[in-house]
Structure 1
Amino acid sequence: MTVTEAKPAKLVVEGLCKRYGATTALEPSSLSVAEGEFLTLLGPSGSGKTTLLQLICGLVEVSEGRVVIDGRDQSATPVHQRDIGLVFQHYALFPHLTVAENIAFPLKMRGRPGAEVAKRVSDALAMVHLGHLAGRFPRELSGGQQQRVALARCFVYQPSIILMDEPLGALDKKLREHMQIEIKRLHRESGSTIVYVTHDQEEALAMSDRICLMNHAKIEQLGTPREIYERPRTAFAADFIGISNIFRGRWDGNGSLETAHGRFALPNGAHCESRDAALVIRPENLRLGALDGNAVNGRVSEIVYAGSETRVIAALEDGSQLVLRLGPDDAVPAIDEAIVAGWPRDKAVLVA
């Protein structure tokens, strides 16, 4: 049972829209976030993901639609009254306050008793593994430690929803991966509802219960990481999430797609809203040699060894590229070697 099936909706966005004069920053959009869910808003720059986040928390005024939290319309509620926690890319820690004082700040602003503040700060420090640094100032911490303080400061007052806008964008790759694990752990231990913004596809796949993929100021596809990766609904979704081999052509309305590289057999029951369609094959589903009558000819232009896999890049006759992922026991062709690659028909996806 998934999070969305097991729990009621915490946040509901109904036809939410934002316009700036003649410019539409977010087309009317609707989605529901379950209590305790980790939903990621993913997309390229200008796709509308940050605008959607800002509308949810009240940083910008709604043009149309509603923001419903715990069954109550909060569309016109000021930011400070929405019981929403915010974590941004820039940590915004108070430089003159210690780690413990930074974490205690939101509790003191809400007039919590001193004993409660001390207990919650202690618990938050333990949660982010920073108890030994409670007396230090932000300037004495690493980037990862500062980010953990920012997370603790948000989690400590137990907001109804936590919104994160690219919080790991300023960190290096190794530290980002470490903090991804930390945020997942904090989410699991706290049971918080999190809406997370990123343009990093790997980050979204690694962290999310569901992904809301956005493009051109609207929702392109909403689903679990596995659904979006394995069953993209559009060529954009296939191309943006992971690496894809995409063959565009004309669907015959039945079981094949005619392309510049030949006629390809489609999975049983494949259907598309348009006759102008595309076939998507992930690199790990390609094999050397024809399969199910599907085959393309190419010449190896590059080989990339990545430990657990070897990535083979081949140039096709029209100048486009084909990418295959071979396992450690697979034979690897040589540079400039002519190859034939195929795939099982049920491993491809027909998209608009």
Structure 2
Amino acid sequence: MTTVAKDGVTAPKLIIEGLSKRYGAVTALEPTHLTVPTGEFLTLLGPSGSGKTTLLQMVCGLVEPTSGRILIDGRDQTQTPVHQRDIGLVFQHYALFPHLTVAENIEFPLRMRALSAAQVKQRVKDALAMVQLDHLAARFPRELSGGQQQRVALARSFVYQPSIILMDEPLGALDKKLREHMQIEIKQLHRETGATIIYVTHDQEEALALSDRICLMNHARIEQLGSPQEIYARPATAFAADFIGISNIFRGQVDTASTGEIRLSTPHGKFRLPAGATCSGAEAAIVVRPEQISLGGDKGNTVVGRVADAVYAGSETRLIVDLDEGETVIVRLPPGQPAPAYGERATLGWNPDAAVLVP
């Protein structure tokens, strides 16, 4: 259901106000505030123990919060039992009924809601077509591949048009190629249905591929919230930069040159900072993505080292360079550019404005 505010603007689908969870002396989730617009695909991303699954379980009602409120379509659902929250769930293990056919598995949530036979028939037909399993409607789960079983689980969650669909690492049990294929299918389902989806994963590539926004979590709190492009290009912290994609991070002390220019003093030299960069503390770091670094010292900031490896990955070659001061830098070479030989000396450079200053 979509709620419209008095001013005609669509109200948020989900509002989390100060939600927290403690288990004795252990804090599983610090007080958290989060708003999810209707129709958004939001991914909760983070390492194990970051609080993402705890947050998801409180939204669906499987875990009782220590404090805070959960509002769905403007209504307080904090104490509402899980079966009354109008939420669809998709788990890593598909939880299909082995004694029911594909069609019967998809029918199940509709029959629990006492829809008419005609409504059930039409919705199941539409759901089967949506996940392209029309021809397998009479089969049992044991007769399906892992990807087909996951599509049945997805159809079962979408078929009764719940207010929110929660997915807890639903592709974790699949191999890489099938996982990438299912990512495309989930994204297409989201686009076709306009459903509000909250998706939990620890796979940063999956988060980048699927999400409208990523909620990056660390140490039981939100580290950064933004679009995949924002978090990748403008990480707010060194953790965000290190967790999302590959990063080269140079740590040092912020100081001011005699010319008045602010620089970062590191074991590798003094680096010019991005234009307009500010830092409240003396210690900071700059983040440089591998694609922003090139061979040669004509970009403004440079480091020197020795080639340790060159990894061919089809669309790119990843050059690994051990710096003279002991750290390692990764460079993405464009297709066709030859890589220096193992052991060869290499000078690397980047434009100061291509880096990001983080605390």
Structure 2 residue aligned with 1:88: 91
1:247-305 residue CA offsets vs partner (Å, 9 max, x unmatched): 00011266311111000001111122322110100000001112443110110000011
Structure 2 residue aligned with 1:322: 329
- Unaligned runs of 5+ residues in structure 2 are 1-8
In 1, distance between residues paired with 2:163 and 2:280? 40
Q: Cα gap change, 1:221/1:114 in structure 2, threshold over 3 Å: closer, same or farther?
A: same
1:26 to 22, 25, 29: 29
What is the CA-CA distance between 1:329 and the residue it aligns to?
A: 3.2
What is the CA-CA distance between 1:331 and the residue it aligns to?
A: 3.4
| TM-score, normalising length: structure 2 | 0.95
1:223 equivalent to 2:230? Answer: no
Q: Considering only aligned residues, what root-mean-square deviation do their CA atoms show, in Å?
A: 1.1
Structure 2 residue aligned with 1:153: 156
Q: Contact conserved, 1:255 with 1:268, CA < 8 A, in 2? A: no
SS at match of 2:241: helix
1:155-206 residue CA offsets vs partner (Å, 9 max, x unmatched): 0000000000000000000000000000001101111000000000000000
In 1, distance between residues paired with 2:126 and 2:104? 14
What is the CA-CA distance between 1:7 and the residue it aligns to?
A: 4.9
In 2, distance between residues paired with 1:293 and 1:178? 41
1:197 equivalent to 2:200? Answer: yes
What is the CA-CA distance between 1:306 and the residue it aligns to?
A: 1.1
| TM-score, normalising length: structure 1 | 0.97
Alignment of 1:267-286 (within 5 A): 267-286=274-293
1:64-86 residue CA offsets vs partner (Å, 9 max, x unmatched): 11111111111111111111100
1:350 equivalent to 2:357? Answer: yes
Structure 1 residue aligned with 2:104: 101
Structure 1 residue aligned with 2:311: 304
- Unaligned runs of 5+ residues in structure 1 are 1-5
- Identify the range of structure 1 (309-318 vs 241-250) with the bigger mean alpha-carbon deviation: 309-318
SS at match of 1:252: strand
In 2, distance between residues paired with 1:341 and 1:292? 9
Q: Contact conserved, 1:68 with 1:74, CA < 8 A, in 2? A: yes
The residue type equivalent to 2:138 in the other structure is G
In 2, distance between residues paired with 1:236 and 1:273? 18
SS at match of 2:301: coil
SS at match of 2:13: strand
1:48-105 residue CA offsets vs partner (Å, 9 max, x unmatched): 0000001111110011111111111111111111111000000000000000000000
SS at match of 1:40: strand
Q: Contact conserved, 2:306 with 2:344, CA < 8 A, in 1? A: yes
Structure 1 residue aligned with 2:266: 259
Q: Contact conserved, 1:265 with 1:292, CA < 8 A, in 2? A: no
Q: Contact conserved, 2:11 with 2:73, CA < 8 A, in 1? A: no
In 1, distance between residues paired with 2:91 and 2:76? 25
In 1, distance between residues paired with 2:119 and 2:209? 35
Alignment of 1:169-188 (within 5 A): 169-188=172-191
In 2, distance between residues paired with 1:203 and 1:30? 24
SS at match of 1:246: strand
Q: Contact conserved, 2:11 with 2:74, CA < 8 A, in 1? A: no
Q: After TM superposition, what 4+ stretches of structure 1 lie above 3 angstroms from structure 2? A: none
In 2, distance between residues paired with 1:296 and 1:331? 20
